Amino acid sequence: MASGELDPVILHHVVNSLGWPDLRPLQRAAIAPLLDGQDAILLAPTAGGKTEAACFPLLTAMVRRDGTGTSVLYLCPLKALLNNLITRISMYAGWLGRSAGLWHGDVPESRRRRIRADPPDILLTTPESLEAMLIGVTTDHAHLLGRVRTVVVDEVHAFAGDDRGWHLLAVLERLERVTGHPIQRVGLSATVGNPARLLTWLQGAGAGKRQGCLVAPDLPVTASAVSGPSGDVELDYVGSLDNAAKLIAALHRGEKRLVFCDSRRQVEQLGAALRARQVDVHLSHASLSAEERKRSEEAFAEGRDCVIVATSTLELGIDVGDLDRVIQIDSPGTVASFLQRLGRTGRRPGAVRNCLFLATGKETLLQAAGLLLLWGRGWVEPVVAPPEPRHLVGQQLLALALQRHRIGDRLWPEEWNGLAPFDGSAAPILRHMVEKGYLDEDGGMLFIGPEAERRFGRRHFMELTASFTAPPQFTVLAGRQEIGRTDVSVLTEDRPGPRLLLLGGRSWRVTFIDWTRKRAFVEPADGGGVAKWTGNGIAGLSFTLTRAMREILLGADPPVSLTHRALTRIAEWREEEAPEIVHPGGTLVTRSGGDVRWWTWAGYRANATLAATLPTVADPVQRPTDLWVRLREDLTPEAWREAYTDARDGEFLVLPDVDHRAVHGLKFSAVLPERLATATVAARLADLDGARATLADPYRMQLAP
């Protein structure tokens, strides 16, 4: 067998078991670099065969080495995606007499014991579960993980854009210390605007030291990972969620429709509205129990004339059967997210990828039009890691102390192989943790301290394995059946009559609340339920998307079908409101009575940065929006020109002010000095590039009283 060829047994099964006439271009192109041990990013559209492109060469390499134990870790961002993949990957491994195992928070302890005793060749897990293996006292790290040679990171872009990505990189560096050798890193992705940068990011401390390649025969690897619009996309304006339900109930009967909403509350409300219209509807979102989501997804997969309403939980490739239609309520926040959703359709031979946008408000219509304008240009957001992850440096120091039991007070940076910011630059954080009792110091060694035991020691420090903070929720139970979780405010708000909540698309009457154990017991109700969840994310659209919305008002049209309703509403925007809020010559400063606004069209983060950078003219009591910054009521043209010129010509921009409550939303912020925790949140609130671009624009003033 040539070095760049798959094992003959795999090729036999590709033809005879899968019935494929040939491998796809991506699967062929991935063979040589993966067999050579190179790090790689495999890029292809949704359903492009990325899992097989990774697994077939890695299984071939496994057979050639003829070793035993777990040599491949397959990491996913969602447990549901792991559950979906295990059967397929087990089949591929079984062709060669190899095995695959599944390990995450829902896997019973009895199955984990079997994995510890007899490690599978491929272990499917999450980064959080991998962390738990490293810090857990019941797992022999060397036995289970010491022979790992390759890590596959599925949906790698979903990690890279938030704190889970920093956590993933740090844990992989520690894993290399366990194995004693570099680990091949393979990322699977679609729809990214900076694939080369994503590869460098995934390589971590090995960037520039190890070979790496992009494998993307189906996509041009340029500044963008897509070449332009491909699909049947339509934009409609319906004006309300109830009208959206009427249209969905009437359209495409006899077909399977996946409807995306961008909030759990919207999913619940639309699900209830569709059910009231006798539509066979199923729901999926993060606050439904795993069993409830699984029931919904299986029922939908087996149905024909039905609808499933979901948040982004169904965006990342989880198989719900063969779809006919994707419908988007309002608009996702990114082009990348839209491409994931569009890619759920058109998988049958001869089928076309399709998506129908139903805008329930004029602002979301404008956002959808702007997003589709960017999509039509082939633009996709670059994946950028959140800056300054100091809180995760603290988390990693605690996790390392648990894993090693004791760490040298000078040697600890070696555990991350020089990966910043987990390197020596973290010394001030470590000193603070020792001073506050999170770490104990004795004889040149560091240990878990009493304050860490107090704050994070419950359930064997399992709280340390999650890198984000989720608002507290109450578990909702109908008898012994868990329905899901709801926000505590639904149970505490003062409302007349019985307390009703909406969950799983159905109304429930609360019969008993166990405040100590955070459980609410319910029974079915006829209607009137309330759905509500509190989010932790920083609101706001990007600079690029907000500027695209401005272009729509100035006359640009997205390259999609627009219904008469959508065309009419956009025309009304342009004729009636646009002259007061946009100008083709630059940004606009307007006055309406005492309300003075600078219409930047720069996005939330850039506007927050601009408000902080222009303190003499910006209203000190405001919350910046995506579209404008509120200015002082007594603003004069002279004061504005002076402040604007100083900011434009100055060398520095100012980070936004931070509400102390935002710092508490940063998990593990307690282990940081207050000034560093505040600086971390401020850096994440800022968009310095967007602010600079806005200051570089000319401006016009309409300050007549």
**Rounded mean pLDDT of 617-643?**
92
Instruction: Judge whether residue 185 has pLDDT over 60.
Output: yes
- Residue corresponding to tokens 């062709």: 95
Q: Lowest-pLDDT range, 315-324, 366-375, 405-414, 523-532? A: 315-324
**Rounded mean pLDDT of 42-50?**
84
Q: What angle do CA 343, 347, 350 make, to 5 degrees?
A: 125
d(CA 422, CA 408): 15
- 128-142 pLDDT, tens digit per residue, is 999 999 998 888 888
In the prediction, which pLDDT does 471 show? Answer: 61
CA distance to 75, 270, 320, 341, 573, per residue, from 336 (Å): 21, 24, 20, 9, 27
CATH of domain 8-215: 3.40.50.300
- 71-130 pLDDT, tens digit per residue, is 999 999 888 889 889 999 999 999 999 999 999 988 999 999 999 999 999 999 999 999
Length of the chain: 705
Answer whether 151's CB lies under 8 Å from 185's CB: yes
Closest CA to 144 of 161, 160, 132: 132
Beta-carbon contacts of 215 under 8 Å, excluding residues fewer than 6 positions away, are: 26, 29, 30, 33, 40, 41, 42, 43, 53
E strand or H helix at 284: strand 281-284
Sequence-distant contacts of 669-674: CB under 8 A, at least 24 apart: 669/391, 670/455, 671/391, 671/394, 671/395, 671/397, 671/398, 671/429, 671/432, 671/433, 671/436, 671/438, 672/390, 672/391, 672/394, 672/429, 672/432, 673/428, 673/429, 673/432
> Where residue 223 falls among pLDDT bands split at 50, 70, 90?
very low
Beta-carbon contacts of 501 under 8 Å, excluding residues fewer than 6 positions away, are: 476, 486, 490, 491, 507, 508, 510, 520, 522, 529, 530, 531
Residue 394, Cα to own-chain centre: how many angstroms? 22
Q: Lowest-pLDDT range, 154-158, 263-267, 364-368, 463-467? A: 463-467
E strand or H helix at 232: strand 232-237
Computed on alpha carbons and rounded to an integer, the radius of gyration of the chain in Å comes to: 27
**Rounded mean pLDDT of 627-631?**
96
Burial 282-291 (b: 16+ CB within 10 A, else e): bbbbbbbbee
In the prediction, which pLDDT does 164 show? Answer: 92
In the prediction, which pLDDT does 692 show? Answer: 96
3-state secondary structure labels for all residues of 645-697: HHHHHCCCCCCCCCCHHHHHCCCCHHHCCHHHHHHHHHHHHCCHHHHHHHHHC
- 156-182 pLDDT, tens digit per residue, is 998 998 899 999 999 999 999 999 999
- 283-320 pLDDT, tens digit per residue, is 988 888 878 888 888 888 888 889 999 988 787 766 76
Instruction: Judge whether residue 40 has pLDDT over 80.
Output: yes
- Residue corresponding to tokens 């549901």: 80
Calculated CA dihedral for residues 649, 654, 655, 656, nearest 10 degrees? -110
Answer whether 628's CB lies under 8 Å from 597's CB: yes
Q: Does 342 or 80 have the greater pLDDT score?
A: 342
Sign of CA dihedral 200, 341, 268, 623: positive
**Rounded mean pLDDT of 357-370?**
97
In the prediction, which pLDDT does 705 show? Answer: 59
Peptide bond between residue 421 and the one before it cis (omega within 30 degrees of 0): yes
In the prediction, which pLDDT does 224 show? Answer: 39
Residue 686, Cα to own-chain centre: how many angstroms? 19
In the prediction, which pLDDT does 469 show? Answer: 56
- Helix extents (H) in 36-108: 50-65, 79-95
Closest CA to 68 of 140, 5, 122: 122
Where in 159-231 does DSSP place strands (E)?
Answer: 184-189, 212-215
Beta-carbon contacts of 291 under 8 Å, excluding residues fewer than 6 positions away, are: 481, 482
- Helix extents (H) in 536-587: 543-553, 564-572, 578-581
In the prediction, which pLDDT does 221 show? Answer: 41
- As a whole number of angstroms, the longest Cα–Cα distance in the chain is 82
The token duo for 326 is 């994707």
**Do 232-376 and 8-215 have the same topology in CATH?**
yes
> Where residue 420 falls among pLDDT bands split at 50, 70, 90?
very high
The partner residues of 236 in beta bridges, in order of sequence, read 358
Instruction: Judge whether residue 47 has pLDDT over 80.
Output: no
Q: Is 535 helix (H, G, I), strand (E, B) or coil?
A: coil
Every domain of the chain and the residues it spans:
8-215, 232-376, 473-524, 583-702
Specify burial of residue 442 (Cβ count, 10 A radius: 0-12, 13-18, 19+): exposed
The CATH H-level (homologous superfamily) assignment of domain 232-376 is: P-loop containing nucleotide triphosphate hydrolases (3.40.50.300)
Model pTM score: 0.89
> Where residue 470 falls among pLDDT bands split at 50, 70, 90?
low
State which amino acid sits at residue 350: G
d(CA 393, CA 425): 10
User: Nearest 5°: phi and psi at 407?
Assistant: -135, 145
Percent of the chain at pLDDT > 90 equals 66
In the prediction, which pLDDT does 53 show? Answer: 97
- 542-566 pLDDT, tens digit per residue, is 999 999 999 999 999 999 999 999 9
Calculated CA dihedral for residues 671, 166, 314, 186, nearest 10 degrees? -150
**Rounded mean pLDDT of 411-421?**
93
CA atoms within 13 A on the CB side of 16: 7
Average pLDDT in the chain: 89
Answer whether 34's CB lies under 8 Å from 186's CB: yes
In the prediction, which pLDDT does 192 show? Answer: 84
d(CA 334, CA 190): 13
